Amino acid sequence: MKIGSKLLNIRQTNKLTMDELVEIFNKEHKLSVTRGMISRWENDKSTPSMTYLRTYAKVFHLNLNNLLCIDCNDDINDSQSGKGYYNNPETAKLVQELYDNPDRRVLLDATRNLRPEDVKALTLIINQMTKKESSD
């Protein structure tokens, strides 16, 4: 997803009009943003500078790294809905299940944007390892 589409998606998800966003940027963050600038950013006609991107991250409680991950497929809204380290709540749930398994309690070191599919793949690997160990 291009950055413009992400910015549009963020604004629409938060049910803000362009004028309302301009007001937040200018009044609360002392910037000089116009409606035209936001329109150009959202339509990928221009790219916001780091100052504006940082403000987007601050206003919408986003991870700046996710915002800058222009070509990745991670859902930007995930970072707003997840509690704790992981951006995706489904991932957080699966990671919790891995820990709660009384037979083999697992704790990970993984990136924030870990996908549920990655956790499922990891669970298969762990099961294979367990089987191999018990047959050795």
Partner 1 sequence: MPPIPRTRIYPLPPKVRGFCHENPDGSVDIILNSRLTYESNKETCLHELKHIKDFVCKEDCDVPELEELRHEK
Q: Which of 109, 114, 74, 75 is nearest to 93 (CA)?
A: 114
109 binds partner 1, rule: CB under 8 A: yes
Rounded to a whole number of angstroms, the minimum distance from the CB of residue 74 to partner 1 is: 10
Residue 19 or 97 having the CB closest to partner 1: 97
69 binds partner 1, rule: CB under 8 A: no
95 binds partner 1, rule: CB under 8 A: yes
Rounded to a whole number of angstroms, the minimum distance from the CB of residue 107 to partner 1 is: 4
89 within 8 A of 82, measured Cβ to Cβ: yes
> In angstroms, rounded to a whole number, what is the distance separating the alpha carbons of residues 12 and 59?
14
For residue 98, how many C-alpha atoms fall within 13 Å in the half-sphere facing its CB? 21
Contacts of 91 (CB under 8 A, 6+ apart): 82, 114, 115, 116, 118, 119
Selected from 17, 96, 127, 131, the binder of partner 1 by CB under 8 A is 96
Residue 17 or 96 having the CB closest to partner 1: 96
34 binds partner 1, rule: CB under 8 A: no
> In angstroms, rounded to a whole number, what is the distance separating the alpha carbons of residues 24 and 27?
5
105 binds partner 1, rule: CB under 8 A: yes
Selected from 27, 103, 134, 136, the binder of partner 1 by CB under 8 A is 103
53 within 8 A of 68, measured Cβ to Cβ: yes
Which residues of this chain interact with partner 1, rule CB under 8 A?
82-86, 92, 95-96, 98-99, 103-111, 113-115, 118, 121-122, 125-126, 129
